[in-house]
Structure 1
Amino acid sequence: MTTPAEKMWHDFTTKNKIEGKTYQTRWFGPQDQPDEINRLNALILSGKKRSTSKPLAYYSAEQEAVPQVGDYFILLNGDMKPIAIIQTVVSELVPFLRISGEHAYNEGEGDLSIEDWRARSLAKFTKLMQKYDTQFTEDKPVVSEVFEVVYSEK
């Protein structure tokens, strides 16, 4: 039996004549907050959110691979159903305090300024890393990722 994600991937790869590639599923925001996931997806699908970031230590703690250029992800909504496919176009390891204003703007949240991004992200990353008994500080490395929507059913 084919899952909705597998069907979306098949439709995308067939239409674009892509062979030999794989995908992972992904959502933005806490899985137990479907409204937040849907809010972030609306920003992504509108083109306002084109980048994201997470502490490097998060990937180690979760034993999750750091997104690489060319990676495909099936974007899931708050009900964990596929809504689009995104592809990583930039993935860089950057110290927190060196994240650019352009990256902050492209995250598409808050007032889009680097100052607002730093305040929100420092609070978010600190809380996130406490789950892993790890302290996040402004000198820690962050994975800075830029992605694009390459397929959407809308």
Structure 2
Amino acid sequence: MSAQPYAGPDDPRVAALPVEQFAFPGPLRDRLVAAILSGAKTSTTGLLAEYRHEGVPLPQVGTRAAVVDSAGRPVAVTEVTAVRVVPLADVDLAHAVDEGEGYTAVADWRAGHERFWHSPELRAALGDPGFTVDDGTPVILERFRLIADLR
């Protein structure tokens, strides 16, 4: 017998899931969430430093999460399908493309991510106004699949 589909954002099973936030609320999050909902985005990259700073465990294969939009509303459920920790220099083109942001070269993907990682907002979130990344910075490469569109 298969599990019943999620009934929508008010389904109690959605409320029980961990929350997944992509970027900070605003235009970037809106674009990333739209890419998830369209199926274009099936991977994401996080900084190991963020996980350590927040004291949260790394994603685990099989974990489901409620993706929220800029207003904090659950709009999707995703499931982690793969997790790797690699130095930033080892991010490959397939991962960059699967982030669904239109990147066709790793150098462009990296430049876009460095703008975000070096932003005042992320530096403030890390409590480190001089935070920077380099080739050896450990990043979390996460792959996921869309389980439910809750809109």
> TM-score normalised by the shorter chain: which range applies?
0.7 to 0.9
Aligned-pair distance for 1:115? 1.4
Aligned-pair distance for 1:5? 4.9
Q: TM-score, normalised by structure 2?
A: 0.80
Contact kept, 8 Å, 1:28 with 1:41, in 2: the verdict is yes
Matches within 5 A, 1:2-151: 5=9, 7=11, 9=13, 23-31=17-25, 33=26, 35-127=27-119, 128-129=122-123, 131-133=126-128, 134-151=131-148
Aligned-pair distance for 1:117? 0.7
Aligned-pair distance for 1:66? 1.2
Work out the CA distance in 1 between the residues paired with 2:143 and 2:34: 17
Q: Which runs of 5+ in 2 are unaligned?
A: 1-7
Aligned-pair distance for 1:109? 1.2
Distance 1:57 1:108, change over 3 A: same
Instruction: Flag the structure with more relative contact order, 1 or 2, with Cα contacts below 8 A and sequence separation at least 6.
Output: 2
Contact kept, 8 Å, 1:104 with 1:114, in 2: the verdict is yes
Work out the CA distance in 2 between the residues paired with 1:46 and 1:135: 32
Post-superposition Cα deviations, 1:117-146, rounded to whole Å, max 9, x if no partner, equal 111122322333464324422211100001
Alignment-mate amino acid for residue 24 of structure 2: P
What do you get for the CA RMSD once the two structures are aligned?
2.1
Alignment-mate amino acid for residue 105 of structure 2: S
Distance 1:109 1:118, change over 3 A: same
More helix by proportion, 1 or 2? 1
Aligned-pair distance for 1:96? 0.2
Work out the CA distance in 2 between the residues paired with 1:88 and 1:6: 22
Q: TM-score, normalised by structure 1?
A: 0.79
Distance 1:48 1:79, change over 3 A: same
- The DSSP-based 3-state class of the residue aligned with 2:11 is helix
- Between the two proteins, the alignment pairs up a number of residues equal to 138
Q: Which runs of 5+ in 1 are unaligned?
A: 11-21
